[in-house]
Structure 1
């Protein structure tokens, strides 16, 4: 049976457990947690690229995905998932950027696969990845305004026409008592009113 610390090419890696390696390198600047076999490392934005480079050097060579999570009111959490094909260890890397100026250095220089993920995150959340080689829209039609995965983005279709599918109780034409009409989640109370 082969040793999981020795890759197929025969070069042995100096393997430490990832949480200890992260704590040794970053000290108080990293928060490490483990849940269901997945390790999560949270760092400040200034350590983001260094964290990605360190994870890759430690054997997490497979870049899986990168995205953002809108975390109002302060900003966005940027999340990347990488994988070690030798040890089969998964690592979730996270940092935060402010809502007022959502900027982060691009990870494309560390993982080329981050290219489209950063473009999508830029387009959907408005996070600017500085140094990205081609930070242009990827999915939305030309001229689209706004960032549709932000929690404050108003889905106009929910207001303009009835939502498809089953109606809420009391909204059918079957004589049931009606309840107060409300706007869909995320739609401001005065949205769509003339003069409002």
Structure 2
């Protein structure tokens, strides 16, 4: 197990350091590495084949409140940013923009490896007033992520979360009895949260919320300013 805790961030978060050491002993070889974000989070990266066993061990250790389960697809969308327009293109591709994106990606990847897909979940311990974020790297074959054992027998609240991850990313949760769609029609093909899913509607019309901005003619602008000033003076506010 590798401890990726940033030494510069460690002071002031002795509680998470102690918890990381305790859970490292509990999980043993199932734990790949941990990371402490001081004052914020404790990340645990585990072997995906131990996903179910890790969840059971953490529940028995007091992390009995299930927060959420989801997944990440780290690949870049082949078409790039759909929402680029004449209004925001100036800020795209600059050194500052690329640096900010790299920093954001590094921050989010904490506690994770280099695979395209990652599974993640959050568990809470009400008694400890603490939470842990658990990640597992998912291998994929031709863009299809590997299957994972279901944890609904451990946390019943994971039911809909696993269904959503299956619907949106195509992850199969072995042992789940009802991996049916929640949001999409039953006959819908594809998984919309995979980065290579073609969102054709974005290619044929502007991104929702992007509108044409027309300049106000100078004569109309002067008229509006005069009317506003007249109302302001008539109200006595300018006295």
Q: Select between 65-74 and 51-60 the one with higher mean Cα deviation.
A: 65-74
Deviation, 1:172, is 7.0
Determine helix, strand or coil for the equivalent of 1:157: helix
Match of 2:102 in 1: none
Residue deviations 1:141-180 (CA, integer Å, cap 9, x gap)? 221111101111111111122333335xxx8787xxxxxx
Write the mapping of 1:97-108 to structure 2, written as runs, cut at 5 A.
97-100=138-141, 101-108=145-152
The DSSP-based 3-state class of the residue aligned with 1:133 is coil
Moved over 4 A (4+): 171-174
Distance 2:45 2:122 in 1: 12
Greater relative contact order structure (CA < 8 Å, 6+ sep): 2
With normalisation by structure 1, the TM-score equals 0.72
CA contact (8 A) 1:75 1:102 kept: no
Determine whether 1:25 maps to 2:29.
no
Question: 2:210 matched to which residue of 1?
Answer: 166
- TM-score, normalised by the number of residues in structure 2: 0.60
Find the aligned partners of 2:23 and 2:183 in 1 and give their Cα distance: 35
Alpha-carbon distance in 2 for matches of 1:105, 1:28: 18
Higher-Rg member (1/2): 2
The count of aligned residue pairs is 156
Q: How does 1:45-194 map to 2 (within 5 A)?
A: 45-72=48-75, 74-100=115-141, 101-166=145-210
CA deviation profile, 1:53-89 (whole Å, cap 9, x unmatched): 1110111110010000112384311000010111110
Q: Distance in 1 between matches of 2:148 and 2:208?
A: 38
Gaps of at least 5 residues in structure 1 are: 1-15, 175-196
Give the helix-richer structure, 1 or 2.
2
Structure 2 partner of 1:34: 36
User: For the aligned residues, what is the CA RMSD?
Assistant: 2.2
Counterpart for residue 103 of structure 2: none
